[in-house]
Copies of this chain bind each other. A is one copy, B any other.
Amino acid sequence: MTASDRIPTLEDVLDAARRIAGHARRTPVLTSRSLDVLAGARLFFKCENLQRVGAFKFRGACNAVQSLDPITAAAGVVTQSSGNHGAAVALACRERGIPATVVVPRSAPAVKLAAIRAFGARIVPCEVAQADRNRVTAEVLAGQGGSLVHPYNDGRVIAGQGTATLELLDEVPDLDVLVTPVSGGGLLSGTCIAGHGVRPSLRIYGAEPAGAADAHDSLAAGERITGRAAETICDGLRAELGTLTFPVLREHLDDILCVDDVETVAAMRLLWERLKMIVEPSAAITLACVMKHPGLFANARIGLVLSGGNVDLDSLPWQLSAVPS
Contact = CB atoms under 8 A, between A and B. Distances in A.
Contacts of A54: 276
Contacts of A309: 276
Interface stretch (A133-141, A187-195, A236-244, A312-320): A312-320
B313 A269 contact: yes
Contacts of A322: 314
Contacts of A318: 313-314
A183 B244 CA distance: 57
Contact of A273 (B28, B277, B279, B313): B313
A75 interface: no
Contacts of A272: 278, 313
Given A50-B275, A272-B278, A276-B277, 17 more contacts: A28-B28, A47-B276, A49-B276, A50-B276, A272-B313, A273-B313, A276-B278, A276-B279, A276-B309, A277-B277, A277-B278, A278-B278, A313-B316, A313-B318, A314-B322, A316-B316, A319-B319
Interface of A: 28, 30, 33, 47, 49-50, 52, 54, 269, 272-273, 275-279, 309, 313-314, 316, 318-319, 322
